[in-house]
Structure 1
């Protein structure tokens, strides 16, 4: 029975890693789509990535400040509850695309992306340690690597599927209202995933409570500070390239590819990471 529970845990967790990787990578296609639909500058189009990843910073900051000031909201939720909380936020963000598409509002689209990224923050905070503590401790690193593999697989195939859906099936470049349909489906996916996690995810351990005296003691470690800086520049470079790659490839000054063809080539970029 324990082995069966662990197997179910891994299935739903790996689906989780796959899901947020897939949706995150779709943003790189939304950037050129919005630029064309709303006749905005390249700088303004890059607000797609800015809105999405700023949500990560704000969500993480809220989480850290809650720990610092002894607010028990996130701790009381536990790993499972925090995942459900993140999935609900992400589903709401996807549904915000419905009024955004109807009213053709770039600002509302950005609000939806912010909400999705905000939800993903809590997914990543809880899912990574949960993979480590679920199952045999000797294989914890391998499980986390496999989970990351599903996430990477999703980022590799998302551009191909996204191009087929956005450009060929729904033709969102000429009908922005069609953008709501894939995100309604994604909201349903997150809802279904939340139901699966609620029903099948069994967690033996929850948050370990430590009295830190209101201090962020982890920040006393210099290696952590350097690691945070390294991640900041690494992820910043990774996201910047992915966000602007389609615009670069379709530019007459480079290779003048069609936008949908350039979008498919994103798969090679993300597949290598």
Structure 2
């Protein structure tokens, strides 16, 4: 089908599915706010606080394949509705978790939210690529992901306003407080998540109702031909490398944002509320990078742009380790700009040409998001053992793998970049 025809047929569906990218982007990017916040409220180390990311991203690893299988049987729409319901339930559970101030309860709630996001991402990423011309699948996915970037830029600002108090007690201050005063402070800190997460859950339920009452087209992918029609998906080398690259990319992305507020405090002397505003600026650049990258793909092949951006991220992250003050923050701004196109580009390159096996390939790539559960913990351990600045060598190493995947596909313009449908 042509893009014009696809636009007339699937226009509203594209708008509705694109809204899901915003929702999960907002949820995941409250984690950089929750990490320093729960570190205070539940009195955690850097390594312990990183388990917020682990609880979120480990859900992708466990549920991506079941989500893909569910959608193969019941379709994209059913998968999206299941995802939205899990999302809402997890968000509502933040209220009792904050009431009893249980870090374990917070982790369970985060895991349930991420379970819902797994269904949403497993459905929405491939769905948006087949809602239109296969020739522009990568551009369309990057455009939808740009609204994910918009949510990423908004979430830290809103979270910083309504969740972070701006009050961080030193050890000396805690020691001068009575147990009752300290508990009152900690209870107040924990309670600040209640209203924001109730609002999030309510909005998600409204979207679920809208999608339930909307007729969405169910796309039937064409049968693959040749080697793609038989054998294990693990024989598809480009798909396997896409899974590896996405594993390292998501790990790097989560590391970059999760410890940003702590980095700004330790390296540039910026307090947590101001640092949340700096993070919002960084993620705004991430969103802008998505739109700019989508435009540049009209002139530069996605794989070549991915290679260039991967190299820039390695250089800028390394620079952030070596310099001090606000210059280090500005280096991280640059990383956010250049890593913007990585997830959708790796995804689109990885599932191209899989035909009726697109949902299976999509699930494998979504599973690789578990990198976001592992690398922040590694980074937290490095930070506890050395310092927060040196720990940023962890995402720098991850970007090397992303650049290598781009190089493997450097001549991908010789292969039609499509997702059969």
What is the TM-score when the length of structure 2 is the normalising length? Answer: 0.57
Distance in 1 of aligned mates of 2:16 and 2:162: 25
Note the 1:171-182 alignment, pairs <5 A: 174-182=188-196
Distance in 2 of aligned mates of 1:117 and 1:80: 18
Distance in 2 of aligned mates of 1:205 and 1:62: 19
Contact 1:12-1:196 at 8 Å conserved across structures? no
**Alignment partner, residue 100 of structure 1:** 97
SS of aligned partner of 1:158:
helix
1:15 CA displacement: 1.1
Note the 1:176-195 alignment, pairs <5 A: 176-195=190-209
Distance in 1 of aligned mates of 2:25 and 2:9: 25
Contact 1:75-1:207 at 8 Å conserved across structures? no
Distance in 2 of aligned mates of 1:216 and 1:82: 26
Distance in 1 of aligned mates of 2:231 and 2:154: 39
1:250 CA displacement: 1.3
| CA RMSD after TM alignment | 2.7
**Alignment partner, residue 110 of structure 2:** 113
Rg larger in 1 or in 2? 2
**Alignment partner, residue 69 of structure 1:** none
1:265 aligns with 2:275: no
SS of aligned partner of 2:269:
coil
Contact 2:164-2:272 at 8 Å conserved across structures? no
Structure 2: gaps of 5 or more residues: 1-5, 167-184, 225-229, 287-336, 341-421
Report the more deviating stretch, 177-186 or 45-54.
177-186
Distance in 1 of aligned mates of 2:243 and 2:135: 27
1:77 CA displacement: 1.9
Deviation readout 1:138-163 (Å, 9 max, x if unpaired): 54333222101111111112111211
Note the 1:1-273 alignment, pairs <5 A: 6-63=10-67, 66=69, 73-167=70-164, 174-206=188-220, 217-251=232-266, 254-270=267-283, 271=286, 272=337, 273=340
Report the more deviating stretch, 174-183 or 113-122.
174-183
Tell me the matched-pair count.
Answer: 260
1:23 CA displacement: 1.1
Structure 1: gaps of 5 or more residues: 67-72
Contact 2:154-2:280 at 8 Å conserved across structures? yes
SS of aligned partner of 2:30:
helix
